Amino acid sequence: MSRPCIGDWVKLSCGDEVCRHDDPRHVGRLESIENSAVARVTWSNGWIEYMPIREIRRSDDELARRRMR
């Protein structure tokens, strides 16, 4: 039996384009994940924000690009 990995519950990777669950209009880049719970996001306006990873999701543009590959 294998041990659980971070990818089992965190479905994001560094470098992904992300947006907030409540406001998908603002897109940023996931720079890092700390302690499997806190994400560092650099938004398109240059603002850097540390936020719970449960509050963001991969942006629709990023999902479309991954499907094209």
Residue 1 in any domain: the answer is no
Overall number of domains in the chain: 1
Instruction: Name the residue range of residue 61's domain.
Output: 9-68
Contact by Cβ (8 Å): 39, 54: no
Amino acid at the residue 24: P
Rounded to 5°, angle at Cα 60 from 24 and 45: 50
If one compares 69 and 19, the residue with the highest pLDDT of the two is 19
The answer to the question of residue 28 being in a domain is yes
Q: What is the pLDDT of residue 64?
A: 57
pLDDT in tens, 8-51: 556 888 899 999 988 888 889 999 988 888 999 999 899 999 99
- Rounded to a whole number of angstroms, the CA Rg of the chain reads 12
**CATH number for the domain that contains residue 29:** 2.30.30.30
For residue 3, give the DSSP letter. P
Q: What is the pTM of this model?
A: 0.74
Confidence of residue 52 (pLDDT cuts 50, 70, 90): very high
Please give the backbone phi and psi of residue 47, each rounded to the nearest 5 degrees, phi first.
-65, 135
Check: CB of residue 29 under 8 Å from CB of residue 14. Answer: no
